[in-house]
Copies of this chain bind each other. A is one copy, B any other.
Amino acid sequence: MPTLSEVAQLAGVTAATVSNVLRHRGRVGAETRQRVLDAVKTLGYRPHLAARALAEGRAPTIALMVSSIDNPFYPEFALAVERAARESGHFVIVCNTNEDPATGRAYLDQIAGTLSEGVLVTNANLDFADLHKTEARGAPVVLCMWERPQEPPGLHCVAVDFRRAGELAGAHLVELGHRRIGAIVGSKVSGIHAARYAGFVDALHAAGLDAPAARLRQAPDSVQGGYAAARELLEADPGITAIFASNDLPALGALHAAADLGREVPRDLSVTGITDIKPAREARPALTTVAVRTAEAAELAVGLLRDLLAAAPDYEGAARTAPRVLVVPEPRLVVRGSTGVAPMRE
């Protein structure tokens, strides 16, 4: 692979002049310019794209940090991000942190501001201190899918009103006549899904119902986690006629638990999720859930990152911008086969 220096030598100019010609910068006479272009052609020199992007303080990629590529939400979100990014010619590289802050930190150190121009962070379990450091190095950071629009994180973010999502699911179950509703929270109860559960409780309270701790289970955010939690709930209290899950994966697990316990969905048991991932649409019965508008969130996040990059042509201004919070359009209930009118109880 010929080097810039070889091109310079052949053209009888300095490397800086070659660079100026290739980058359409500086003053270079027409004749010199032609000599450089001829040398480029003769040697088959291919400008080292990344090096050039780096020299210009710009790389054509943005990084998307995901916390668990194994969770189907993240590939779906990555796809949506990629669609949005390609509109402005950006490439997306996906970095999976496996829910490990140390891995996340390593990716940020290796990639942010160097291999990638900016960083989108989904609900990756990253230390905010690391994200602030990344910003301070000049790489804008946008948190995607922030769960509490009313409590901004002090970083640029795209927020989804997940409390409202929980409320919509809860209200739907209440309207169908359910009174004994179990809840599965796919994080620590005070954790990332807290707002979803709070919204669900809002809906119960609005209907004059209570939400006793006995009908609440915390579970891993997975099909298996939801399966185990739903079994526990239904075995402890067979009078439960509906299950609210704070995410689609545990809701899908609840469908399996119902099947194994011989309870037909939705005749004997209704189940709701939140997010609307593809497996929710493909389940049998398909899952009633609250769609959080993943594609819109991705578009807003990419747009915000693009704005921050444009506002920081010196590559170091982003951190100085006051954190911006964009809120995704309100979640909406998607009613499918997994919910129905509460069964009559004798």
Contacts and interface: CB of A to CB of B under 8 A. Distances in A.
B223 A282 contact: yes
Interface string A172-185: 00000000000000
A265 to B, nearest CB: 11
Given A94-B96, A115-B61, A79 B75 contact: no
Interface string A264-298: 00000000000000110010100000000000000
Interface residues on A, range: 35 or more
Interface in A55-94: 59-61, 63, 69-70, 72, 74-76, 78-79, 82, 86, 91-94
A46 interface: yes
How many identical chains are in the complex?
2
A252 interface: yes
Contact of A46 (B79, B110, B137, B316): B137
Given A93-B94, A96-B82, A114 B75 contact: no
Contact of A70 (B79, B94, B111, B255): B79
A320 interface: no
B114 A49 contact: yes
A78 B282 CA distance: 23
A50 interface: yes
Given A94-B93, A138-B1, A49 B110 contact: yes
A91 B82 contact: no
Given A50-B50, A50-B115, A114-B48, A94 B69 contact: yes
Interface string A102-125: 010011011100110000000000
A273 B49 CA distance: 43
A259 interface: yes
A107 B94 contact: no
A256 interface: yes
A137 to B, nearest CB: 6
Nearest first, the 9 A-B pairs at minimum CB distance are A50-B114, A93-B93, A94-B94, A69-B75, A75-B75, A223-B282, A50-B115, A49-B114, A115-B115
Interface of A: 1, 46, 48-51, 54, 59-61, 63, 69-70, 72, 74-76, 78-79, 82, 86, 91-96, 98, 103, 106-107, 109-111, 114-115, 137-138, 223, 252, 255-256, 259, 278-279, 282, 284, 315-316
6 contacts: A61-B111, A82-B98, A91-B110, A115-B115, A252-B282, A259-B284
